[in-house]
Copies of this chain bind each other. A is one copy, B any other.
Amino acid sequence: MLSRACEYGVKAVICLTIASREDRIKSIGDISRNIQTPEAFTAKVLQKLVRAGLVNSIKGKNGGFYINKEKAENLKLWDVVQIIDGDDLRYRCLLGLSNCSNAKPCPVHESYKTIREDLVRFLKRTEIKILSDRVIRGESILKIETILRTN
C-alpha cells in the first residue's frame, strides 16, 4: 500500500509534530529512535520532506529537524504520502493497465474506482495533528514497545 519510505515519512512527521508542541528540534538519531526506523534511510526520507518545505533543518552542532508550523497547520496524511510516494495510489489500475480509463476499462475498473476513491478520501481527511494528539494522549503508538533489559 504505502512504501516503507512513506511509512517512515509519516511516522517522522507525526513525531516532529509532537515535538513542535514544545518547539523541540530533533536530530535524526532522536527521530529514528522514537519511531524505530533505520537511521540513515530515515535521513533520506527526511531530506525529501525538507526539500518539499514541510520540514526545516538546522545544520551544525545542536542542529536537527523541526516541522514547518505554517504548513503543518492543516496538514493531511495525504500531503505526506504525496511527497514520498506521489499519486500512484490515486490513479493506478488494480490490474496494472497503463491506460485503464472509463473509455478503455479493465474488468474491475468501475468497482475498484470506488474503493480507491474511498482510500484517497480517507487520506485527505485524516489530519496529522489529530494523529499526533492520539499518540500524546497514549491512545496509539508509533513503535512497538521494547523490553528494557538490565544486564
Q: Which residues of A are at the interface with B, using a C-beta cutoff of 8 A?
A: 1-2, 4, 7, 10-11, 14, 77, 89, 92, 94-99, 104-109, 111-112, 114-115, 118-119, 122, 126, 131-132, 134-135, 139-145
Residues of B within 8 A of A4 (CB): 96
Copies of the chain in the assembly = 2
Is the Cβ of A2 less than 8 Å from the Cβ of B94?
yes
Is the Cβ of A7 less than 8 Å from the Cβ of B95?
yes
Q: Beyond A1-B1, A115-B118, A115-B119, is A108–B95 a contact (Cβ under 8 Å)? A: no
Q: Beyond A1-B94, A96-B7, A143-B97, is A111–B105 a contact (Cβ under 8 Å)? A: no
Query: How distant is the Cα of A131 from the Cα of B95 in the complex, in angstroms?
Result: 12
Interface centre among A94, A107, A119 (most CB of B within 10 A): A107
Q: Beyond A7-B95, A95-B7, A118-B115, is A131–B108 a contact (Cβ under 8 Å)? A: yes
Residues of B within 8 A of A104 (CB): 141, 144-145
Query: How distant is the Cα of A107 from the Cα of B95 in the complex, in angstroms?
Result: 30
Among B92, B97, B140, the residue within 8 A (CB) of A109 is B140
Closest to A77 in B: B108
Q: Beyond A111-B122, A140-B105, is A95–B11 a contact (Cβ under 8 Å)? A: yes
Among B122, B140, B145, the residue within 8 A (CB) of A106 is B140
